[in-house]
Amino acid sequence: MAVEKYIIEKAQTWLEGNFDEETKQHVKTMLDNNEEELVNAFYTDLEFGTGGLRGVMGVGTNRMNKYTVGMTTQGLANYLLRTYPDESLKVAIAFDCRHNNTFFAQTTANVLSANGIEVFVFDDLRPTPELSFAIRHLKCHSGVMITASHNPKEYNGYKVYWNDGGQIVPPHDKNIIAEVQKIQSVDDVKFKGNPDLIKTIGEEVDTPYINHIKDLSLSPSVIQRQQDLKIVYTPLHGTGVKLVPRALQAFGFKNIYHVEEQDAIDGDFPTVHSPNPEESPALDKAIKKARDTNAGLVMATDPDADRVGIAVKNDKGEHVLLNGNQTASILIYYLLTKWQEQGKLTGREYIVKTVVTTDLLKEIADYFEVPTYNTLTGFKWIADLIRKKEEKETFIGGGEESYGYLVGDFVRDKDAVISCAMIAEVAAWAADKGKSLYQLLPEIYQQFSFYYENLMSVKREGKEGAEEIQQWMKNYRRQPPKAVNGSPIVMIKDYSVSEAKNIKENRTEKIDLPQSNVLQFFTEDGSKITMRPSGTEPKIKYYFSVKGTLENKGDFERKKEELDQKINNIIKDLKIAK
């Protein structure tokens, strides 16, 4: 393959600069013998997406390594020093189970402390949401989480948080990148840390975090009656093992079964193909454990414990997976029901969802006369909304279809520790009424509308793959379909230009959200199709949402099959192929 000149020049700067010899040798090998690896390692620089800095570990500007982490941290330090020139700066750092986790955390701590910034580093791996809590609890100006979330084992990442405990949003993200780009060489990075400014933290943050979670419980008497509810939990080799069982116990649950081999902290994730609870095989061992123990609820968290996938028993006694939209719907329905029962709805409360999350959440909230706000994909936008509405309105809960939920506002990111405790509480609440979590779903669909969703991801690796995905998006915008599955397109929302085009009325309205490479088609029969290139992985995501009615709970399975077939027809119509 022909390697573009700028890629070779970028690689050669790593041969000439102040890099360690092992790194230089690796670059030389790529230049001499591995053009494909060279292109993928140097064709671009890692940038902040919806999840921050994330990439394959290795040598190169497009890889996670000491130098890309160091330069990013130096850029962060420069930005913090410029933004808060008269303050004593503090930054919290946490990390999950991935390879090089402590190395990247220590590199980050060294660079920050070398710049005169006080750093608080957890003594061992901790969930991402606890970092968000720690930032606010310790009154830090920023925070860094070393994680690649649910990505494969080759990946690591670097999430930057601001003083509100939320991931960075504009203008901070772009300003930090601008500071990084000002760094001309690794010589500009202060790698030699100041140990006097690096503090270790642990239990002094864990205890208040768990206490705050315990205070979220809305049905403590129900849990007392249902304390023997059988729950299987797995952290999929990640950070959840530290605090999820502890949170469940704090709520009052007694029968928590572990998947012992998956309690082992291991960045190779040896017992799963992927540590992603969105993918059903990740829960296989936990479901087997549930069968063996007759447990009705299974929960699995991803490596940094900000997402949770669940399985519940259906009416045949089989364990079935709920998708993220279904779990979010059950959770929001429970929260609003309890808030109403307890007289806590005053007219100032709200929930939040993302534009690709089920619109059933809005239907439920409308019933309780609680406003629903939409944000772009990525929980940082939900955190940003919470920050803007502080002291004016009260956040009850929110979520996104990708298995991320939040209850309460003392954390400003999706939180699987909170979610596991609250989902278990909903299961106890249902059991107290003689129902299962599974049986709640058709009741919700019957009362409101039967929304059914699915997600399809198409992966394309490397530079050519990224270009192919961008071309697909251009084609969808240039020649959008007139109809899908026999239903006319009545609305097109293009978030890249913040415009919603009403086809039937031939008028265009502005979308009051930041611009993003997201495109949505809405059909006359209530279907919604969303296309979005991932901000953290080399793939494009297609989100499908179809809608029907459920008049009889006994028709739940049959109606679900009909809606599933409707989604298959849409996929065929749009000629989407993996």
Annotated active-site positions, please? Answer: 149
With the CA atoms of 400, 401, 406 and 411 taken in that order, what torsion angle do they form, in degrees rounded to the nearest 10? -60
Supply the DSSP symbol for 125: -
Terminal CA-CA length for the chain: 25
How many Cβ atoms sit within 10 Å of the Cβ of residue 31?
Answer: 18
| Omega prior to 275 cis, within 30 of 0 | no
Q: What angle do CA 170, 172, 175 make, to 5 degrees?
A: 105
CA atoms within 13 A on the CB side of 212: 20
106 vs 51, 269, 491, CA distance in Å?
Answer: 21, 23, 50
* Structure tokens belonging to residue 143: 């925070």
- Beta strands at 53-56 and 155-162: parallel, antiparallel or unpaired: antiparallel
C-alpha separations of 150 from 239, 307, 323, 574 in Å: 12, 9, 16, 28
Measure the CA–CA gap between 446 and 433, rounded to whole angstroms.
18
Cα 350 to Cα 390: distance, rounded to the nearest angstrom: 12
Least Cα distance to 96 among 248, 275, 273 occurs for 275
The three-state secondary structure class of 234 is strand
* Cβ–Cβ under 8 Å, residues 354 and 374: yes
The two tokens of residue 229 are: 């509810």
User: Smallest Cα–Cα separation from 339: which of 403, 283, 277, 422?
Assistant: 422
Whole-angstrom CA distances from 446 to 464, 552, 554, 555 are 46, 7, 11, 10
At position 413, the amino acid (one-letter code) is: D
Query: Are 147 and 98 in contact, with CB atoms under 8 Å apart?
Result: yes
Length of the chain: 578
- Helices (H) and strands (E) counted in the chain, each on its own, are 19, 23
Closest CA to 24 of 8, 38, 12, 39: 12
Determine the Cα–Cα distance for residues 372 and 314; give it in Å rounded to an integer. 30
Contacts of 352 (CB under 8 A, 6+ apart): 372, 373, 374, 375, 382, 385, 386, 395, 398
